[in-house]
Amino acid sequence: MNDIAIVVVAYNRPHSLRRILTSLADAEYQDQDVPLIISIDHGDNAEVLSIAQDFDWEHGEKQVVYQTENLGLKAHILKCGNYTEDYGNIIMLEDDLYVSPVFFSYAREALAFAEDKDYIGGISLYHHLFNVHVREPFQAIDDGYDNWYMQFASSWGQAWSLGQWRDFTSWYEKNAEKDLISVGKLVPKNVLSWSENSWLKHYIRYLIDTNKYFLYPKVSLTTNFFDEGAHASKAVTDLQVPLALQRDKAYHFSSLEESESVYDAFFENMKLPEKIKEIIPQAELIEIDLYGYKETKKRYVLSGAAKPYKVLASFGCKFRPLDANIVFKLEGNAFYLYDTSKVAKIPKKCMADKYLYYFRGLKVKNMFSVMKYRIRERLEKH
Query: How confident is the model over 6-23, as a mean pLDDT?
Result: 97
Query: How confident is the model over 200-226, as a mean pLDDT?
Result: 97
Structure confidence at residue 62 (pLDDT): 98
Looking at per-residue pLDDT, the higher value among 227 and 337 belongs to 337
Query: How confident is the model over 335-340, as a mean pLDDT?
Result: 97
Query: How confident is the model over 301-322, as a mean pLDDT?
Result: 97
pTM for the whole thing?
Answer: 0.93
154 band by pLDDT with thresholds 50, 70 and 90: very high
Q: What tens digit of pLDDT does each residue of 101-121 get?
A: 999 999 999 999 999 999 999
Structure confidence at residue 151 (pLDDT): 98
pLDDT at 232 over 90: no
pLDDT at 183 over 70: no
Q: Are the CB atoms for 110 and 253 separated by under 8 Å?
A: yes
pLDDT at 381 over 70: no
Q: What tens digit of pLDDT does each residue of 244-253 get?
A: 999 999 999 9
Instruction: Average the pLDDT over each of 139-143, 159-163, 289-293, 378-382 and give the range with the smallest value.
Output: 378-382
The rounded mean pLDDT for the chain is 93
CA atoms within a 13 Å half-sphere pointing along the CA-CB vector of 378: 5
pLDDT at 2 over 90: no
Query: How confident is the model over 64-90, as a mean pLDDT?
Result: 97
Structural domains of the chain, ranges and CATH numbers in brackets: 4-263 (3.90.550.10), 274-349 (no CATH)
Percentage of the chain modeled with pLDDT above 70: 96
Percentage of the chain modeled with pLDDT above 90: 82
pLDDT at 382 over 70: no
Query: How confident is the model over 167-181, as a mean pLDDT?
Result: 89
Looking at per-residue pLDDT, the higher value among 97 and 381 belongs to 97
Q: What tens digit of pLDDT does each residue of 364-374 get?
A: 777 777 778 77
Convert the chain into a string of H (helix), E (strand) and C (coil): CCCEEEEEEECCCHHHHHHHHHHHHCCCCCCCCCCEEEEECCCCCHHHHHHHHHCCCCCCCEEEEECCCCCCHHHHHHHHHCCHHHHCEEEEEECCEEECCCHHHHHHHHHHHHCCCCCEEEEECCCCCEECCCCEECCCCCCCCCEEEECCCCCCCEEEEHHHHHHHHHHHHHHCCCCCCCCCCCCCHHHHCCCCCCCHHHHHHHHHHHCCEEEEECCECEEECCCCECCECCCCCCCCCCECCCCCCCCCCCCCCCCCCEECCCCCECCHHHHHCCCCCCHHHEEEECCCCCCCCCCEEEECCCCCEEEEEEECCCCCCCCHHHHCCCCCCCEEEEEEEEECCCCCCCHHHHHHHHCCCCCHHHHHHHHHHHHHHHHHHC
Looking at per-residue pLDDT, the higher value among 366 and 317 belongs to 317
229 band by pLDDT with thresholds 50, 70 and 90: low
Neighbouring C-beta atoms of residue 253, cutoff 10 Å: 18
Q: What tens digit of pLDDT does each residue of 33-57 get?
A: 999 999 999 999 999 999 999 999 9
184 band by pLDDT with thresholds 50, 70 and 90: low
pLDDT at 231 over 70: no
Structure confidence at residue 374 (pLDDT): 75
